[in-house]
Amino acid sequence: MSAALERFSINQMTVKQLDLPELVDACLESGVPGVGLWRAPVQSYGVEATAKLIRDAGLSVTTLCRGGFLTAIEPAERARALDDNRLAVDEAATLGTDTLVLVSGGLPAGSKDLHGARERIADALGELGPYAASRGVRLAVEPLHPMYASDRCVVSTLAQALDIAERFPAEQVGVTVDTYHIWWDDTAPAQIARAGASGRIHTFQLADWTTPLPEGVLNGRGQIGDGAIDMREWKGYVEAAGYSGPIEVELFNDALWARDGREVLAETAARFAEHVG
């Protein structure tokens, strides 16, 4: 493995056209040491089977994506969400990763109460945090870009994520730092320092910002180097804050998904080496 790829991890969604054995083969072929996994393809292959596949290949699982969706008001729906998040913690533990990424959830239908939704997330973490820590798993609250605030994640900034996370011990709850979601925010570097000071940078993810955004704005995460974000600048911020862990590239991008997955993985590794490593 080249030194430039030492900290590189490929998030499974970047090359979702590859099944798990293909992903593992492609990682070995491209010298990629780590993978961030997603629950649905892992469940479909089998959690234990995935764990064995990755372990036997000598790869590490850097995160499991994703728990969360904790903003429901209705009690039965809320209980189901908590159950599902406990299951996600169990899956993370089985896979051998210490980090479960949380996408907090949007506004319930008809609600305009962002503050209330954020408080329900904090309430849920009060239940899930101790459970996760008991399994050796840390929850990483991910602020999503403000364009997702209504329908996907009411936590829009690192400051908001830390306001919630700091109510709990760092070994229970920290944050996800993802360049795509925070690159526009001139207060984010100071918030990264704040997160690092209490040991709460649980994962660092990269995607570039490219425009025009596609309809629905979900699958426009740009290949590293194609957009407006200076990756080394943000790597510098997390490193100055004490983070020296894996760096995941997580792209949702229809154009990349339409191509050969091995080729996309090799390209992504090369871009990482050029712009980050």
Task: Give how far Cα 270 sits from Cα of 23, 29, 166, Å.
Answer: 17, 13, 37
Residues 31, 116, 199, 214: which binds a copy of itself (CB under 8 A)? 214
How far apart are CB 212 and a copy of itself at their closest, in Å?
A: 4
Query: Segment 92-131, which members bind a copy of itself (CB under 8 A)?
Result: 107, 111-115, 118
Segment interacting with a copy of itself, rule: CB under 8 A, options 65-73, 90-98, 170-178, 207-215: 207-215
CB 173 within 8 A of CB 207: no
Query: Segment 228-267, which members bind a copy of itself (CB under 8 A)?
Result: 228-230, 233
DSSP per residue, 167-227: TS-TTTEEEEEEHHHHTT-TTHHHHHHHHHHTT-EEEEEE-EE-SSPPTTSSSBEEPTTSS
How many residues interact with a copy of itself (rule CB under 8 A)? 35
Alpha-helical regions (H) of the chain? 20-30, 39-45, 47-56, 75-95, 114-134, 158-165, 179-182, 188-197, 231-240, 254-257, 261-275
Q: Between residues 115 and 258, which has the closer beta carbon with respect to a copy of itself?
A: 115
Alpha-carbon span 122 to 267, nearest angstrom: 39
How far apart are CB 42 and a copy of itself at their closest, in Å?
A: 28
Query: Segment 132-191, which members bind a copy of itself (CB under 8 A)?
Result: 145-147, 149-151, 156-157, 159-160, 183-187
Q: Between residues 234 and 243, which has the closer beta carbon with respect to a copy of itself?
A: 234
Q: Between residues 75 and 216, which has the closer beta carbon with respect to a copy of itself?
A: 216
Alpha-carbon span 22 to 194, nearest angstrom: 39
Q: Given the rule CB under 8 A, which residues bind a copy of itself?
A: 107, 111-115, 118, 145-147, 149-151, 156-157, 159-160, 183-187, 209, 211-217, 227-230, 233
